[in-house]
Amino acid sequence: MKIGNKDEPGQAFTKNKKPMTREEVLYFVELIQNRPILTSRETNAASNKLKDEAWTSLVAAFNVKFGGYPKQKEQLKLKWDNLKKAARKRTQKIPKKRKSNILTTEKREGNKNKAKKIKAEDGRRERNLAIAEYLRKKTEKLELEIKLLKLAYREKLEAISIFYLSGLEVEINLNCAVGNNHLNGANHIDYEKWNNHQRGESNNPVFRVMGQFLGYPNLIARTHEFFEKSLIYYNGRPDLMCAADGTLYNKDPNKPVCWNGQKGGLEGLRQKGWSITNLLVIRREGRVENTRISILAQGDNQVICTQYKLQKVRTDEELDRCIQKVLRNNQRIMGNITQGTEILGLIINQSETIRSADYLNYGKVPIFRGKTMGLESKRWSRVTCVSNDQLPTIGNIMSTVSSNALSVGYFSESPTNAISHYNFIGNLALELSYHNPATKSALNKRLSPSEAKFYTSVHYRILLLYLDPSLGGICGVSLTRFLIRSFPDPLTEGLSFWKGIFPFVGRGLQSLINKIGNPQLCPYSRSHFPKLLENPLAINLRHGVNPVQVIKEEIKKSLITAKIQNHIVRHAVMHSRDEEQPLYAFLESITPRFLRFLSEYKAGTYLGMTEGLVGLFQNPKTVRNIFSSQMKKEIDNIIIVSEIQGSSKKNMYK
């Protein structure tokens, strides 16, 4: 039903099809009782005229009593016919003895074969009482249906909230949309010191099977051995420790700062197998009940989703009983899981455990009634921040801004706000760059006058914020990336963006876009081939110095010249040194040259696996810090040069 339409009141009511309430039906029956002509069986012209006048007055009286959409005469006549049919069905269920007083015949004493008609008035009165009794129960059911329909159509998906206590208050919401009779529950589990309470006795059998899949049965099973044979101490208070017999002891037993070994793990040191063991326990205990269970498990962040299909119900009481069965079943499942985790030695923190049917929180991302809530304020609070293992360059800082903006846009209904905030915060970060940690001074002081002028121009900011690295940018993001997540070709994505905005910008920016769409390519040489295999989606453009890549190359050279005791790592380094160039020569000879295929081909060879092993030593920040300290001056110069090149007009299409 639309508000403000031009339909007649009766037509609007017909479209609305709103059922009569109990009060309306009872008043309607009373109006008929006060007009005996309506129940008369006479069918001559005079009686028909009187009946028509009686119906007209009845409709007027009914519409005066009840506002809203006025009833038409035909509607009320049809309603009265339906009520009489319903009353006849009801009288068939009345006991025979009482039925003789309601129907139009009764048996006379002394003459069982003869029947006498009761006066019409008494028959109509008793009949109307039967109708009223029937409608009393009928309208109660109608009121329940109206209540549920109102809930269902309010926002297409509403809920009936039922609260129960089981150590904490839990809210279960039942979806009441028409045709939706499913109830899902999300049980969030929080553990007390999940790492510390892990034990080798419970995990080692599973770890041994996991190691057998890798060909090394004891590879993962030795996890707890490392903790049990380790010396654990607090390096901030050596004055509270003493050395004796090749180990450390506490000077004061009441102030423990060191101990030899522990059965469980440590905060910050986690083993992937612990999650597998937990998952197996949850799956085994959940099979006890005939319930479909979905599990989200990542470390101690575990959500157990139980899914139910409700039985068809007719009343609120039946609905309550059905939901109570669901709650008891869910409680039994969680009780079994709690007992299983206690056998492993884990402790569930009940004070931070929540169960809900419309709220799910996984990985710090809340999901409410199927809608993912992005938590924009939390994500925007982390912009302009870099992690400890990153170099504090302008590229890393602006990449943090763009990645947070993309996350906000993907979790929002519209990317418009995320794009606007990215433009604002990106420019704000550039305005706050009074001191560049990479160059140890303001960046414009390191530039020539012409380069400093370009550094403060609008074109520089546009290129820095919106030029994708695949087209020669430093850390920019094409706005088309806010519309499609994980587009497979960043080059096509970036060119489509600049082509799309070209007709809507001024001539100054159009000339800049022309240069972006026609970048200057480097003359090809064999030294470029490994870089193209590393990033097959890129094109061969002129770039500045990448300090991270330089550090990785120096680490690799140091590993080759160093005397490595581990024979597996030593063999991997030697194989990479001896077989790298022959493999590159073979891949370069393949025609036609599809870089994605060549990159996957290399990754699937033995050289690709050994380089992955060597890469474990190139990426951790501790190893990079060690090698960086050995060539500190060289690294500092490389970082300064890379920042200057990235901010100068030589690399920014000016």
* Count helices and strands in the chain by DSSP H and E runs: 24, 15
Structure tokens at 476: 């920019």
The pLDDT tens digits of the residues spanning 259-296 come to 888 888 887 777 778 888 888 888 888 887 888 888 88
Q: Give CA–CA dist 126/536, Å, rounded.
A: 90
The pLDDT value given to residue 107: 39
Q: In which residue are the tokens 């996890």 written?
A: 223
Residues 6 or more apart whose Cβ sits within 8 Å of residue 555: 617, 618, 623, 624, 627
Average pLDDT in the 368-382 region? 82
Q: Give CA–CA dist 550/629, Å, rounded.
A: 14
Q: In which residue are the tokens 């159509």 written?
A: 153
- Full-model pTM: 0.60
DSSP state of 195: T
* Domains of the chain: residue spans and CATH: 9-154 (no CATH), 159-195+273-373 (3.30.70.270), 374-519 (no CATH), 527-619 (no CATH)
At residue 136, the 3 state secondary structure works out as: helix
51-65, 149-163, 336-350, 629-643: which has the minimum mean pLDDT? 149-163
Positive or negative torsion for Cα 317, 319, 322, 323: negative
The pLDDT value given to residue 99: 46
**Could you give phi then psi for residue 393, rounded to 5 degrees?**
-100, 165
Average pLDDT in the 639-654 region? 59
The pLDDT tens digits of the residues spanning 33-62 come to 777 777 776 777 777 888 888 888 888 888
Structure tokens at 197: 């309470």
The answer to whether residue 651 scores a pLDDT higher than 70 is no
The pLDDT value given to residue 385: 73
Residues 6 or more apart whose Cβ sits within 8 Å of residue 440: 640
Structure tokens at 231: 């010396």
Average pLDDT in the 607-616 region? 80
The pLDDT tens digits of the residues spanning 106-140 come to 334 444 443 444 444 455 556 666 666 655 555 55
The answer to whether residue 90 scores a pLDDT higher than 70 is no
The pLDDT tens digits of the residues spanning 520-537 come to 888 888 888 888 888 888
Structure tokens at 636: 């500092």
Among 251, 242, 255, 199, residue whose Cα is nearest residue 223: 199
Average pLDDT in the 578-605 region? 89
The pLDDT value given to residue 500: 92
The pLDDT value given to residue 231: 86
The answer to whether residue 199 scores a pLDDT higher than 70 is yes
- Give 506 or 540, the one with higher predicted confidence: 506
Q: Give CA–CA dist 304/196, Å, rounded.
A: 23
For 511, counting Cβ atoms within 10 Å of its Cβ (0-12 exposed, 13-18 middle, 19+ buried), the class is: exposed
Instruction: pLDDT band for 466, please (50, 70, 90 cuts).
Output: very high
Cβ atoms 222, 213 nearer than 8 A: no
At residue 574, the 3 state secondary structure works out as: helix
The answer to whether residue 439 scores a pLDDT higher than 60 is yes
The answer to whether residue 206 scores a pLDDT higher than 80 is yes
Cβ atoms 295, 303 nearer than 8 A: yes
Average pLDDT in the 79-96 region? 62
Among 375, 379, 423, residue whose Cα is nearest residue 400: 379
Other CB atoms within 10 Å distance of the CB of residue 355: 21
Burial letters 248-285, b for 16+ CB under 10 A, else e: beeeeeeeebbeeeeebbeeeebbebbbbbbbebbeeb
The pLDDT tens digits of the residues spanning 469-510 come to 888 888 889 999 999 888 888 888 999 999 999 999 888 889
Angle at 592 between CA 587 and CA 594, to 5 degrees: 70
Mean pLDDT estimate for the chain: 75
Other CB atoms within 10 Å distance of the CB of residue 141: 12
